[in-house]
């Protein structure tokens, strides 16, 4: 899959994550449905990086030290935090479960676990972001900054093309 | 396409397995793990305004208010605030502020990690120079 596709999927995930993180802005119903959609998109993100996950996962216990180890551990914690956010969110849900006609008796602890795991996922999203900083900067330069920059640069006529233009005149 | 679908199902199944494990841990062994099943403000039946008397617990036998635990009911002002939160949008400036705050948190963590990486690179480079000079 191309880096361009990855960039757009990741941007969509980040924007949806930031919006879903603020139920005060969206209201409970949108917060819950948007978070469900976000979970599906996160799985697509994992799917796009399947080869890397398998490669590093296999090497994880073979070689003790390699550069992707920290990245892998942070991604695992982030995945677990997202699962806890989703699980606790579903268990305390008022909109999604009522639409689906499901009633779950869960302990009030899930409410606190929801906010606690949300904070954890925010911190680990920051770490995930930091570890991919070089890729983010390079991809944005290549697919966003350069195409926008080329719109404003004055194109010089090639010598041959310039001659033919003069002749035509 | 089939390959991608199978992989999607594998990731979903792994996520469901982890979620089931977490549910089992909290619901069945929460107390043993130190997770009090009634911890949190709602679990203790505490709400803002309770100490000042602004918020009065609901008398027993009265219909429970939506989203509030048995035995409690919010006053009109608190209820209005709660309804605004439920609907969303009304507190949009507050929500946008929250988004900005989260962006600042992510940016601060990114900056911190980048600075730490640079510092680590600088220390190792300097160490290498000192060793080669010796």
Residues B46-76: tens digit of each pLDDT:
555 555 555 555 555 555 555 555 555 555 5
| Three-class SS state of B42 | coil
Residues of chain B with C-beta less than 8 angstroms from the C-beta of A131: 113
Question: For residues A67-105, b (16+ Cβ closer than 10 Å) or e, as one string?
Answer: ebeebbebbebbbbbbbbbbbbbbbbbeebeeeeeeeee
From the list A18, A27, A79, the residue facing B102 with the nearest CB is A18
CB atoms B39 and A126 under 8 Å? no
Task: Give the torsion sign (CA, B97, B103, B104, B106).
Answer: positive
Cβ within 8 Å of residue B64, ≥6 positions away: B58, B70, B73
Residues of chain A with C-beta less than 8 angstroms from the C-beta of B37: 107-109
Does residue B66 come out as left (phi exceeding 0), alpha (psi in the -120 to 50 range) or beta? beta
Q: Give me the pLDDT at residue A96, please.
A: 85
**Residue B40 — pLDDT band, cuts 50, 70, 90?**
very low
From the list A25, A47, A84, the residue facing B99 with the nearest CB is A25
CB A148: neighbour CB atoms within 10 A? 9
Better-predicted residue by pLDDT, B107 or A108: B107
Integer distance in angstroms from the first to the last C-alpha of chain B? 60
Residue of A nearest to B113 (CA): A130
Kindly provide the ipTM of the predicted complex, given to two decimals. 0.77
Q: Give me the pLDDT at residue B42, please.
A: 45
Residue of B nearest to A80 (CA): B18
How far does the CA of residue A94 sit from the closest CA of chain B (Å)? Answer: 8
Task: Give the torsion sign (CA, B112, B115, B117, B119).
Answer: negative
* DSSP strands (E only) in chain B: none
How far does the CA of residue A67 sit from the closest CA of chain B (Å)? Answer: 13
Task: Count how many pairs of residues, chain A against chain B, have C-beta atoms within 8 Å.
Answer: 129
| Three-class SS state of B41 | coil
Res B41 pLDDT > 50? no
Residues of chain A with C-beta less than 8 angstroms from the C-beta of B4: 47
For A66-93, the DSSP string reads -THHHHHHHHHHHHHHHHHHHHHHHHT-
**Are residues A56 and A74 in contact, defined by beta-carbon separation less than 8 angstroms?**
no
CB atoms B38 and A24 under 8 Å? no
How far is Cα B67 from Cα B46, in angstroms, rounded to an integer? Answer: 14
CA atoms within 13 Å, Cβ hemisphere of B125? 6
> In angstroms, how far apart are the furthest CA atoms of chain A?
84
How far is Cα A7 from Cα A13, in angstroms, rounded to an integer? Answer: 10
From the list A18, A28, A44, the residue facing B99 with the nearest CB is A18
**Are residues B95 and A24 in contact, defined by beta-carbon separation less than 8 angstroms?**
yes
From the list B18, B96, B106, the residue facing A126 with the nearest CB is B106
pLDDT by residue (tens digit) across A44-103?
Answer: 899 888 888 888 888 777 765 666 788 889 999 999 999 999 999 998 888 888 888 887
What value does the mean pLDDT take over residues B3-21?
Answer: 89
pTM: 0.72
């Amino acid at each position: 899959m191309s880096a361009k596709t990855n960039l757009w999927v990741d941007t969509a995930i980040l924007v949806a994550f930031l919006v879903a993180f603020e139920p005060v802005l969206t209201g409970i119903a949108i917060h819950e449905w948007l978070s469900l959609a976000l979970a599906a998109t996160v799985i697509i993100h994992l799917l796009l990086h399947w080869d890397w996950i398998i490669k590093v996962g296999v090497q994880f216990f073979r070689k003790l030290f390699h550069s992707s180890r920290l990245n892998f551990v942070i991604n695992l914690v982030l995945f677990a935090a997202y699962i806890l956010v989703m699980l606790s969110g579903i268990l305390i849900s008022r909109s999604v479960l009522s639409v689906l006609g499901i009633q779950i008796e869960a302990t009030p602890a899930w409410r606190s676990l929801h906010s606690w795991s949300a904070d954890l996922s925010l911190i680990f999203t920051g770490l995930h972001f930091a570890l991919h900083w070089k890729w983010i900067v390079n991809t944005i330069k290549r697919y966003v900054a350069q195409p926008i920059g080329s719109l404003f640069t004055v194109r010089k006529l090639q010598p041959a093309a310039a001659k033919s233009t003069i002749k035509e005149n | 396409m089939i390959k991608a679908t199978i992989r999607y199902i594998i990731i979903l199944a792994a996520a469901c397995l982890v979620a089931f494990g977490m549910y089992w841990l909290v619901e069945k062994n929460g107390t043993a793990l130190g997770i009090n099943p009634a911890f949190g403000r709602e679990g203790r039946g505490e709400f803002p305004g309770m100490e000042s008397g602004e918020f009065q617990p609901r008398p027993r036998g009265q219909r429970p208010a939506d989203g509030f635990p048995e035995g409690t009911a919010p006053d009109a002002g608190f209820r209005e605030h709660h309804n605004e939160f439920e609907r969303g949008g009304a507190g949009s400036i507050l929500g946008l502020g929250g988004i900005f705050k989260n962006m600042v948190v992510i940016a601060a963590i990114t900056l911190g990690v980048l600075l730490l990486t640079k510092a680590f690179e600088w220390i190792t480079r300097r160490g290498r120079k000192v060793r080669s000079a010796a």
